[in-house]
A = this chain, B = another copy of it.
Amino acid sequence: MVRDRVRFGLIGTGRIGQVHAASIAAGPDAVLSWVADPDLAGAKSVAARFGGTPTESPEQLLASGEVDAVLVASPTPTHVTLIGACIDAGLPVLCEKPIDLDIARVDALRPKVAASSVPVALGFNQRFDPDFAETHARIKDGEIGVLEHLSIISRDPVPPPAEYIAVSGGIFRDMTIHDFDMARFFLGDIVEVSAIGAQLFDAGARAHGDFDTVTVVLRAASGSIATISNSRHSAIGYDQRLEAFGAGGMLQVANAPSSLVSASTCAGVEAKSRYVDFFLERYAEAYARELAEFIKLVRGQRSTSPTFSDGRAALIIADAACRSAEEGTVIRLTG
């Protein structure tokens, strides 16, 4: 039976790792075969819930001979090494974003990826969100004509802990990077980056020289423009909206409500329930579809999984945004 199922090795059993473990276990096309985490208790806990052999050692997982594909959900600094090891082991790998916070390390890995036929996919799950994907498809079908302006709003409910910010690489590489990938998904190559950042409310961001509020304007090679607005807090819940404007009109993706109930009272009419909490709820379906698409890649089928190149391109934009925000200049990207 397992023969028909892709045997997954999962490296990293934090919040995202657990989401992937659940997705792997839920579907008919995959099985969780090995689970690695230096924190062995974490590996054991995930293995107990979703199957697989727990280990402290990613190397043991890769060498087990019982793994057809690897899902890397470990901390960012380990990604480059693990992708390299997967390539060496000949195992297709789906790695969480970002590849690394340092473009030099990404570029060092780049020739190896290019020289290999082992598929390397990046975890830009938002491409697989049904609503964003539907919008993308409808634009491709010409429903609104040429896409002239893309607006992305992405605001997290509450700022992360200061310790997280310290190692995050900054808001552009940590949070906006999803939006950079979405901009590329909708608009193709980006040639110009202009970013502005502010420290308005979060002491943790301020302490680490990071911004809590940023706006980025991108110009695509096509000439079209994208605007991204991020905030590290949002009293109204997880704020994830997208608006695509073209000659023929506009497609909008609204926030995801937590229920269908609205209240009309003397305080206000048609007040809706709060939005869903955070990315695990908002993008639950996206994670499942991301995995399904990666499984196609593993099986050698046509797949739309974002690649190592997509991960690198988003990081290059993030680096440019950092520089733009710091220097107050517009950054032109070259090839």
Contacts and interface: CB of A to CB of B under 8 A. Distances in A.
Nearest to A332: B328
Given A255-B260, A255-B269, A151 B229 contact: yes
Interface stretch (A110-118, A230-238, A297-305): A230-238
Contacts of A260: 131, 253-256
A248 B264 CA distance: 9
Contacts of A213: 148-149, 225
A248 B247 CA distance: 29
Given A225-B198, A269-B275, A236 B250 contact: yes
Interface residues of A, number: 68
A328 B151 CA distance: 20
Interface in A205-260: 213, 215, 217, 219, 223-225, 227, 229, 231, 233, 235-237, 239, 245, 247-257, 259-260
Number of chain copies forming the complex: 4
Nearest to A130: B259
B235 A223 contact: no
B223 A194 contact: no
Interface in A255-294: 255-257, 259-275
Contacts of A255: 260, 269
Contacts of A257: 269
Given A149-B213, A271-B268, A328-B332, A138 B196 contact: no
A262 B251 contact: yes
B269 A247 contact: no
B148 A200 contact: yes
Interface string A308-335: 0000000000000000100011101000
A192 B249 CA distance: 31
B271 A231 contact: no
A199 interface: yes
Given A148-B201, A227-B227, A274-B269, A219 B247 contact: no
A209 to B, nearest CB: 15
Contacts of A250: 235-236, 239, 263-265
A162 interface: no
Contacts of A233: 247
By Cβ-Cβ distance, the 10 closest A-B pairs, closest first, are A249-B265, A268-B271, A271-B271, A328-B330, A236-B264, A131-B260, A250-B264, A235-B249, A254-B260, A235-B266
